Structure 1
Amino acid sequence: MTTKEHVGQEEITTTGFPAGRGFKAWFQKHLVWIALGALLAGLVIFLAIDSVAGATDSRRLSARNPAPDGGMAVAEILGRHGVSVTPTETFEDTLEALSNKDDATVFLFDAQGFLDRSQLEDITAAADRVVVVTPRLRTLNGLAEGIRPGGVVPEAIQVIEPGCGQDDALAAGRVSAQGSVFSGPVVCYAPRGSGPGLYAESADGRVIVLGSRELLDNQHVALEGNAALALRTLGNNADLVWYLPGIGDIPASNSSPTLNELAPRWLAFAGPWLGFVALLAIVWRGRRMGPLVFEPLPVVVKAAETAEGRARLYQDSRAVERAARNLRAGTLSRLARHFNLGADATTEAILDTTARHVKLPATEVRSVLIDFMPESEGQLVQWAQQIERIEQEAIAR
């Protein structure tokens, strides 16, 4: 037994550790083993949860799905009645399962139409019977060409009688399900008494189409004769392969074609030639710009170059009137600034001041600066020279 002594206000054990520190020291000493134990416990819990979750499947009509839209109930009942149920998820696993069994039935639910014709033909050849639920037209074409879609069951109809002489349908009696109807050599459960029905069978009896998931799912299988029809249809043989195709079953040949595959064959020969011709046209018609000149920014452009460039633009567009207005406005603005008339100076004030500083009469100054408007490029050049002389003479004085 550990004895305790009181020194002042602190409680000390005979081991030399203050009370409460012994556990801390022990914890630090065995920290590695504690961490390993916690890791091992977590691993065991994870494996247990994973094993439980792995036994179930959330996909519709899956033999491992206990949810209302699953098919576990039918699979379990078939197993209790001596039918060996083998769930498969890939096309290869399905063929392997069929290769080990004689006279096996395949339950096929390919809602997205992943399988192509060749795959469906391989399954049909390897199985004694194929029961397919709500197939697409592509699936029907690969299984039995004599069975075709025929519409849907009206919502007002809740219970459907067999209406045929097929043994399984007669033994099951009426069913309760909504879904699609199909036409074929043998048709049962026609909503209107005749025509397409929920149950369609090929002429040789090896392909059976069920038009509703409600005939097999956990939520509706107990209604009316749904369970009896499902069990008799799927339990015809001692072995049942429960196959739900996935996206991994899509053949590689079904991938989207490349641009080379889409292009016509002649493009392989004409394409390079057209590219060469286009290059020649670019060289022939392209504008010779000369080598690039690298200059540090900002670049200062001389006023004369700017004026020349703008004049060329005006010349190319034959904008004589616009060029004249710009020349007149620029001249008047410079004259007003030179005579300190201010930004709000009127045209008359600028004319009067300019006329007093040149030798020309005021009427001639007005005619040149205001009244005259050139109509051709030649007149524009002469007029520009006149207003330049007036401006230079006014500024010189």
Structure 2
Amino acid sequence: MTGTAGADTHPVDEEGRSAGPHPKRRTFTAWLRRHRSAAAAGAGVAAALALIVGTQLAPKGDSVPLSVHNAGPGGAKAVAEILGRHGVSVHTPNRFDTALEDLRASSSPTLLLYDRNGILGEPQLAALMAAAHRVVVVSPRLETLTGLDHGIRQAGVVPDAFPILDPGCALPDAEAAGQVTGEGGYVYDGGTSCYRAAGTAGMLAVSSDGRLAVLGSTEVLGNDKLDELGNAALGIRMLGASPDLVWYLPSLEDVAVGGSPKTLDDLAPGWARFLGPWLLVVALAAIVWRGRRNGPLVFEPLPVVVKAVETAEGRARLYQDGRAIGQARDNLRSGLLVRLAVKLRLGPGATAEDIIAAAARLLGRDSAEVRMLINERPATEPRLVAWSRAMDKLEKEVMDR
């Protein structure tokens, strides 16, 4: 009989003695014991994969320049954290409609706009200006300044000789902040200009009504240099005047699409309507002029017989163009040895030393002299030519005997 009390009881024989673990359990235990190294390695690989997947799926900040979620050198997470500690609610809409809703939900909101790709059009910029109490634009493009329509214009870049800029104006925010980073910044004309370099336009320009401020440097608000000079002070004073700050970075999803796309006729200039047909006429004339046949095709039977001298000259030119002095020397030497072996009747098994010794005996010369000539390795083209002439002379002397 078998035991039935408990799930882990082992089979027993007729006398009540345990028969040991179940056969399947014994098989698995034996397999695990034999493959314990592979099982341990598999468990390690699974743990590493789980760690990698968990790391990749963990929430991360973005890498968008001047984003409040970007903790890198080009991000603006630090200034957003400081503004939050001073009681400023920083809203980060990712769409144009959401940004308008955030602005209209506050009584006197401040808008920070960084449209580095010039995505927003004039109607969108006008709507943002109307909904915001104050707008701070960072490094705007020409199209953005034109759409904002507050009399501020681009005027160049900050000279490399001025990495640090002084306020140089009577604006309270600039005077309180003091010096800021000017490296890589842009300058603007119009309104009240601050942070001028050598009499040029200012890196900070504020419109006459005070509703628009143009800051020509992302370095002032970036994490990398926020703790230098008065960068943090200028950023906090410009952005922290209102309890609500809408930090808006337009993306490709905000591109305004309307109407039908322009055709080639719409994009082409007016004079292209005359140039196109004229180019067509010229192309047809060129086809008629150069495309006519000069006569029937001539068929040449193959294979074509090429003279040996032409092949030799062609190969010689290739060697000359490639500066293959060593290859040319080896070919000349091997050809000479083959011809001398045939003349001296030494047979196909003769070595170079056998051929040199036989040629020396035939000519009555010292074998060392003949060996030195045949085994010479010219290093320049003139020496190769002289050596080949000496080899040709040696061959003629042997052939004449």
Number of residues of Structure 1 aligned to a counterpart in Structure 2? 244
The CA deviation at 1:255 is 7.1
The CA deviation at 1:14 is 3.5
Match of 1:252 in 2: 257
Q: Give yes or no for contact 2:150–2:212 (8 Å, CA) kept in 1.
A: no
Q: Matches of 1:48 and 1:128 in 2, distance apart?
A: 42
**2:134 aligned to 129, 132, 139, which one?**
129
Q: Deviations over 1:321-373 (max 9, x none)?
A: x9xxxxxxxxxxxxxxxxxxxxxxxxxxxxxxxxxxxxxxxxxxxxxxxxxxx
Q: Matches of 1:47 and 1:164 in 2, distance apart?
A: 53
**2:186 aligned to 180, 184, 195, which one?**
180
Establish whether residue 234 from structure 1 lines up as the match of residue 263 from structure 2: no
The CA deviation at 1:259 is 5.0
**2:176 aligned to 144, 154, 171, which one?**
171
Query: Aligned partner of 2:156: which letter?
Result: G
Q: SS at 1:75's partner residue? A: helix
Runs ≥4 in structure 1, deviation > 6 angstroms? 1-5, 42-48
**Normalising by structure 1, what TM-score?**
0.55
Q: Matches of 2:51 and 2:106 in 1, distance apart?
A: 37
* Aligned counterparts, 1:366-377, within 5 A: none
Match of 2:157 in 1: 152
Establish whether residue 13 from structure 1 lines up as the match of residue 20 from structure 2: yes
| Change in 2 beyond 3 A, CA 1:4/1:102 | same
| Change in 2 beyond 3 A, CA 1:186/1:48 | same
Match of 1:90 in 2: 95
Q: Matches of 1:155 and 1:263 in 2, distance apart?
A: 40
Percent of paired sites with the same residue: 43
**1:222 aligned to 227, 232, 254, which one?**
227
Q: SS at 1:64's partner residue? A: coil
Q: Matches of 1:20 and 1:140 in 2, distance apart?
A: 79
Query: Aligned partner of 2:225: which letter?
Result: H
Q: Give yes or no for contact 2:187–2:201 (8 Å, CA) kept in 1.
A: yes
The CA deviation at 1:101 is 1.1
Q: Give yes or no for contact 1:61–1:70 (8 Å, CA) kept in 2.
A: yes
Match of 1:191 in 2: 197
Q: Give yes or no for contact 2:11–2:22 (8 Å, CA) kept in 1.
A: no
Q: SS at 2:202's partner residue? A: coil
Q: Matches of 1:70 and 1:249 in 2, distance apart?
A: 21
| Change in 2 beyond 3 A, CA 1:165/1:262 | closer
Q: Matches of 1:52 and 1:124 in 2, distance apart?
A: 34
The CA deviation at 1:221 is 1.1
Q: Matches of 1:254 and 1:236 in 2, distance apart?
A: 40
The CA deviation at 1:24 is 7.9
Q: Deviations over 1:212-233 (max 9, x none)?
A: 1101000011110011001100
Q: Deviations over 1:225-255 (max 9, x none)?
A: 0110011001111100000001111110387
* Backbone CA RMSD of aligned residues: 3.5
| Change in 2 beyond 3 A, CA 1:263/1:110 | closer
Match of 1:358 in 2: none
| Change in 2 beyond 3 A, CA 1:261/1:154 | closer
**Normalising by structure 2, what TM-score?**
0.55
Match of 1:101 in 2: 106
Q: SS at 1:208's partner residue? A: strand
**1:113 aligned to 114, 118, 130, which one?**
118
The CA deviation at 1:78 is 0.3
The CA deviation at 1:261 is 5.8
| Change in 2 beyond 3 A, CA 1:83/1:18 | closer
Q: Quick check: 227-236 or 139-148, which moved more?
A: 139-148
Q: Deviations over 1:17-70 (max 9, x none)?
A: 363426989xxxxxxxxxxxxxxxx999968854512xx121000010000000
Q: Matches of 1:258 and 1:50 in 2, distance apart?
A: 45
Q: Give yes or no for contact 1:144–1:202 (8 Å, CA) kept in 2.
A: no
The CA deviation at 1:89 is 1.6
Q: SS at 1:200's partner residue? A: strand
Q: Which has the larger radius of gyration?
A: 1
| Change in 2 beyond 3 A, CA 1:118/1:189 | same
Q: SS at 2:23's partner residue? A: coil
Q: SS at 1:252's partner residue? A: coil
Q: Could you list the runs of 5+ residues in structure 1 that have no partner in the other structure? A: 6-11, 26-41, 265-316, 323-397
* Aligned counterparts, 1:264-283, within 5 A: none
